[in-house]
Amino acid sequence: MDFEIIFLGTGSAIPTAKHNHTGILVKTPKENILVDCGEGIQRQFKIAKENPCKLTRLLITHWHADHALGIPGLIYSMGLNNYSKTLQIYGPEGTAKKLSSLQYIYNKFKIKYEVNEITKKVFESPELLIEALPMKHHNTTTFAYSIIIKDKTRLDKEKLKKLNLPNSPILKKLQEGKDIIHPKTKKKIKASSVIYTEKGKKITIILDTAVNPNTIKISQSADLLICESSFAEDEEARAKESYHLTTKQAAEIAKKAKVKQLVLTHISQKHEIHPEALLLEAKKIFKNTIAVKDFDKLKI
């Protein structure tokens, strides 16, 4: 397992008894990343038995209230719980100023944090890559994100055993793709004969947006596309007017980008009684689609 995704909030503009404002917790072996933090997300953490103090990064798609109202509350509680790391916060231009304004209203945050206003590459480590591309959502700067666990080069332990190679720094050289000389037999060992590539995984999160080419670009070949689906197929004009997607449009993105699975979220109040109808519309175009509700979990 590379990713565990916990849907803390799957509603849209107005939260309901069933659907909280948006918040998606993405866990990797080394990171706990929260994408958006609508109102009530800190309670959703508690109900899901997840710990906000384990958060490493907060990615903000945009500053509309249903995606950001929960930020001061979450940070306030993290401060009371002695959050000891430095929270890395990513968001559109203006994010630093907005966080300062929140501190003007609610007093200084009691946690350490760093603001990274977004360029194309958000973050990169040897294991992880986070990318962002701008979406089209009213006149509000909005980003979609891809979180990618990179391919890993692994040593084939069985083959190493057969070659009787000692556990020494030469193994690291092999892993880096460098050929070595066996310390005992003095024979050359080709790195390519003992290493293999463990394929990484990619998830893409597209929240509020109207149809635009970057949706396909950012989600290209993703293992999982989590996509907003605020409107039904027959509400296309309303979706366009409010810069959102219909089920059909979300499914078309999944199909064109050749993703493996599509997850529909950001379900509007109007459609929550019959989410299966939305699901069926998407499935006509992209079969491997699910619709999520609060506290659903996915492992990929």
81 — phi, psi (to 5°)?
-95, 20
- Toward Zn ion, which CB reaches closer, 139 or 164? 139
The Cα 278–Cα 248 span in angstroms is 9
Query: What DSSP assignment string belongs to 15-41?
Result: --SS-PSPEEEEE-SS-EEEE---TTH
3-class DSSP state for residue 237?
A: helix
How many residues interact with Zn ion (rule CB under 5 A)? 3
**Residue 36 binds to Zn ion (criterion: CB under 5 A):** no
Q: Which amino acid belongs to residue 242?
A: S
Rounded to the nearest whole angstrom, what is the least distance from the CB of residue 242 to Zn ion in the complex?
A: 9
Which is nearer to Zn ion, 19 or 64 (by Cβ)?
Answer: 64
Minimum distance from CB of 246 to Zn ion (Å)?
A: 15
Piece in contact with Zn ion (CB under 5 A), picked from 47-55, 158-166, 202-210, 252-260: 202-210
Please report how close the Cβ of residue 61 comes to Zn ion at its closest, in angstroms.
8
Residue pair 16/269 in contact by the 8 Å Cβ criterion: yes
Pick one of 208, 223, 233, 294: the residue that binds Zn ion (CB under 5 A).
208
Strands 224-228 and 121-124: unpaired
- Three-state SS across 87-153? EEEEECCCHHHHHHHHHHHHCCCCCEEEEEECCCEEEECCCEEEEEEECCCCCCCCEEEEEEECCEE
Catalytic, out of 66, 208, 223, 294: 66
Residue with Cβ nearer Zn ion (10 or 28): 10
Q: Can you tell me the distance from the alpha carbon of 142 to that of 137, in angstroms, rounded to the nearest whole number?
A: 6
Please report, as residue ranges, which positions from 123 to 182 form the binding site for Zn ion (by CB under 5 A): none
Count other Cβ atoms within 10 Å, centred on residue 97.
10
Q: What is the Rg, in whole angstroms, of the alpha carbon atoms belonging to the chain?
A: 22
Shortest spacing between CB 99 and Zn ion, in angstroms: 18
Binding segment for Zn ion (CB under 5 A), chosen from 1-9, 47-55, 99-107, 206-214, is: 206-214
Q: In the complex with Zn ion, which residue's Cβ is closer, 11 or 72?
A: 11
Let me know if 151 is a catalytic residue.
no
The Cα–Cα gap between 38 and 44 comes to 10
Nearer to Zn ion, 66 or 223 (CB): 66
Q: How far is the CB of 138 from Zn ion (least distance, A)?
A: 7
Other Cβ atoms within 10 Å of 2 Cβ, number: 19
Nearer to Zn ion, 174 or 206 (CB): 206
Place of tokens 């509020």: 208
What binding mask, one character per residue, do residues 55-84 give for Zn ion by CB under 5 A, x or -? ---------x-x------------------
Shortest spacing between CB 11 and Zn ion, in angstroms: 9
The residues carrying an active-site annotation are 66
Query: Which chain residues interact with Zn ion by CB under 5 A?
Result: 64, 66, 208
